[in-house]
Homo-oligomer: A and B are copies of this chain.
Amino acid sequence: MALNTGKILRVNLSSGKVTTESVPEQIALDFIGGRGYGIRYLYDEITPGTDPLGEKNKLLMLNGPLAGTTAQAVSRWMTCTRSPPAGAFARSVCGADFGAWLKFAGYEIIIVEGKAEKPVYLHLTPDSCHILDAGEIWGKDTKETQAWLGQQHGRNTRTACIGPAGENLVKYAAVVSNRRTAGRCGTGAVMGSKNLKAVAITAQRKIQLSDPEAYNKLAKEQVNIIRNNGSFQNHKEWGTTSTQDVTNAIGIYPVRNFRYGQHTDYQKIAGAEYRKLRVGDMGCYSCPARCGKVHSVTSGPYAGAHSEGPEYESIWAFTGPIESNSIEASIAADQLCDDLGLDTISTGGSIGFAYELYEKGILKKSDTDGLELIYGKHEPMVALIKKIARREGIGDLLAEGCMRAAASIGKGAEVCAIHVKGMELPAYEPRGAKSQGYNYATASIGASHCYGYAAQDIFGSPEPRPTDRFSEENADVVIYNQDGTAWKETGVVCAFAGGWGWVNLFGKMIAAARGIDKFADDAYLKKVGERMFNLERAFNVREGFSRKQDTLPERILTEPLHTRKAPGEGQIVSHQDEFLDKYYQLRGWTKDGIPTEKKLKELGLDFVLKDIAGSRKQ
Q: Give me the interface of A with B, judged by CB distance under 8 Å.
A: 30, 43, 48, 230, 233-234, 237, 242, 245-246, 248-252, 261-262, 266-268, 270-273, 275-276, 278, 429-432, 434, 437-438, 441-442, 459-460, 470, 472-473, 475-476, 478-479, 527, 530-531, 534-535, 537-538, 541-542, 545-547, 550-552, 556-576, 578-580, 582-584, 586-587, 589, 591-595, 599-600, 603-605, 608, 611-612, 615, 618
Least Cβ–Cβ distance between A87 and chain B, in angstroms: 15
13 A-B residue pairings within 8 Å (CB atoms): A233-B237, A234-B237, A246-B270, A249-B249, A252-B568, A273-B460, A437-B573, A442-B583, A470-B571, A546-B593, A547-B584, A547-B592, A556-B573
Indicate if the CB atoms of B611 and A578 lie closer than 8 Å.
no
Indicate if the CB atoms of B563 and A569 lie closer than 8 Å.
yes
Contact of A434 with B587 at beta-carbon distance under 8 Å, contacts A251-B566, A550-B580, A594-B546 already known? no
Contact of A589 with B537 at beta-carbon distance under 8 Å, contacts A546-B618, A563-B569, A573-B431 already known? yes
Indicate if the CB atoms of B576 and A551 lie closer than 8 Å.
yes
8 Å CB contact of A534 from B278, B473, B576, B603: B603
In angstroms, Cα B571 to Cα A441, docked, is 17
Indicate if the CB atoms of B538 and A557 lie closer than 8 Å.
no
Identity of the chain B residue whose Cβ is nearest the Cβ of A594 in the assembled complex: B541
Indicate if the CB atoms of B579 and A472 lie closer than 8 Å.
yes
Sorted from nearest, which 7 A-B pairs have the closest CB atoms? A251-B566, A432-B568, A563-B566, A251-B568, A475-B583, A547-B593, A431-B571
8 Å CB contact of A600 from B230, B475, B534: B534
Known: A472-B578, A550-B580, A561-B568. 12 other contacts (CB 8 A): A230-B275, A233-B237, A234-B275, A250-B567, A273-B460, A470-B567, A475-B583, A475-B586, A534-B605, A535-B608, A546-B615, A561-B569
Identity of the chain B residue whose Cβ is nearest the Cβ of A237 in the assembled complex: B237
Contact of A586 with B479 at beta-carbon distance under 8 Å, contacts A472-B574, A611-B542 already known? yes
Identity of the chain B residue whose Cβ is nearest the Cβ of A538 in the assembled complex: B608
Hey, which chain B residues are within 8 Å of A575, CB to CB?
472
Indicate if the CB atoms of A478 and B534 lie closer than 8 Å.
no
In angstroms, Cα B421 to Cα A199, docked, is 71
Least Cβ–Cβ distance between A256 and chain B, in angstroms: 15
Least Cβ–Cβ distance between A154 and chain B, in angstroms: 34
In angstroms, Cα B429 to Cα A354, docked, is 39
Hey, which chain B residues are within 8 Å of A233, CB to CB?
237
Least Cβ–Cβ distance between A473 and chain B, in angstroms: 7
In angstroms, Cα B419 to Cα A561, docked, is 38
8 Å CB contact of A566 from B245, B262, B438: B262
Hey, which chain B residues are within 8 Å of A567, CB to CB?
250-251, 432, 470
Identity of the chain B residue whose Cβ is nearest the Cβ of A437 in the assembled complex: B573
In angstroms, Cα B266 to Cα A262, docked, is 14
Indicate if the CB atoms of A604 and B30 lie closer than 8 Å.
yes
Interface centre among A251, A252, A473, A600 (most CB of B within 10 A): A251
In angstroms, Cα B571 to Cα A252, docked, is 11
In angstroms, Cα B264 to Cα A251, docked, is 11
Indicate if the CB atoms of B565 and A604 lie closer than 8 Å.
no
Indicate if the CB atoms of B267 and A246 lie closer than 8 Å.
yes
Hey, which chain B residues are within 8 Å of A556, CB to CB?
572-573
Indicate if the CB atoms of B251 and A569 lie closer than 8 Å.
yes
Identity of the chain B residue whose Cβ is nearest the Cβ of A441 in the assembled complex: B576
In angstroms, Cα B545 to Cα A599, docked, is 18
Indicate if the CB atoms of B568 and A563 lie closer than 8 Å.
yes
Identity of the chain B residue whose Cβ is nearest the Cβ of A599 in the assembled complex: B534
